[in-house]
Amino acid sequence: MAEITGPFSNLLRVHKQHTLSFPAVLSSQSEMRFVPWKLHLPTLSANPCYETQESSKVYHEGLGRDTIADVAKEAASAVVTIHVFDQESEGMCSGIIIREDGLILTCAHEISQGGQIFVYLRDGERYKSRLVVAYLDLDIALLKISSPTRNEFSKAKIGSASKLRPGHLVIAIGCPLSLTYTVTLGIISSECRPSSKLHEKGVERDFMQLDCSIAQGNSGGPLFNIDKELVGINVFCSKTAPGMSFAIPIDNILELLGPKRERNAVQPESGWIIYDFYGMMINQKDPSFPDQQGVRVLKVRGGSSAERAGIKQGDWILKFNGMPIHGDIREIMHVLKEKYGQMISVTLKGQEGAATRVDPDPENHHAPRISNLPRSKM
């Protein structure tokens, strides 16, 4: 233990062996100089939105001068910048490679409207990519790099958001305002903010609240802990509260994509766009696939409006509110979203003679709104 004299000797205890440096006055006559000491982050008790067996202890023993720089350097090799071109406009967002064969996790709102998709790697290489699957209401999408000459790419190390608590450090990497590979540091402000508290309509989902500085272009980009593990995907920020941003926990995404034990072998069904509506996850085929009338119900959430109406996994829906489904259903879904919270009717294959009534969920009908927290797509 270092000997400390002077007027501050009763206020400061210094450990020589630790690395994070802050100025300390050593005596009334001495000059200001840096003395190494260890920063201990307190663990705050909280009630997370999901159950976890992980310990709530601080998961990193200390911070060095290069800790954050090392995370940024290692993680950046798997971060990509995504450009989407159509006849009228160009979109840009961020993404992260999660599998060695070039499978990319990103946001859905920039890439689900069609057009050519190109991704740029850290080394400047550009590759054409295709949409594998898009979960529109959850704002999550998967892309696949198309390259005849390269079949192996750097991938992120996938962690768990269940370890995170308020005050834990996180690092965001992305391309805000087209400034590629921008690194920002922040903390977890809250490990769980339900979408109903954030002016978010549709299916209920959970976000992590951060104070990382992110802006337009960061959407779809990765969030890392200081152990260089992917713990979330950044999706939106607040216009009226600078420094308030939100990310989807990686655990929630992995649960959507497949069993946790297969985190590095995600095998989504190719060519589908996914919607979550009244508790039923439905999908439609990509236009490049053969036409088939209707949409298939992939999953029905327990206790949802769809389950109460008797809709089951594997059912085929032929009509919504009397509107036949042929090919692209985005226009129909747009109409139905305007009626969210009202009763709808669906016609199931094999039951064409009678429509099935789906009543809204009374607990999620009128979602609470916060008037001073409008959503800003990045």
User: Active-site residue numbers?
Assistant: 109, 139, 219
The CA dihedral of 162, 163, 167, 169, to the nearest 10 degrees, is: -110
DSSP state of 202: S
Q: Buried b vs exposed e over 95-107: b needs ≥16 C-beta within 10 Å?
A: bbbbbeebbbbbb
The CA–CA distances, whole Å, from 135 to 109, 249, 256, 257, 277 equal: 9, 15, 9, 10, 11
CA 240 to chain centre: 21
Strand spans (E) along 51-165:
79-85, 90-99, 103-106, 116-120, 126-135, 140-146, 157-158
Residue 103: name the closest of 83, 125, 84, 80 by CA.
Answer: 80
DSSP H or E segment with residue 75: helix 67-76
Task: Give the separation between CA 283 and CA 135, rounded to whole angstroms.
Answer: 9
Angle subtended at Cα 176 by Cα 118 and Cα 94, rounded to the nearest 5 degrees: 35
Residue 351: name the closest of 374, 323, 318, 375 by CA.
Answer: 318
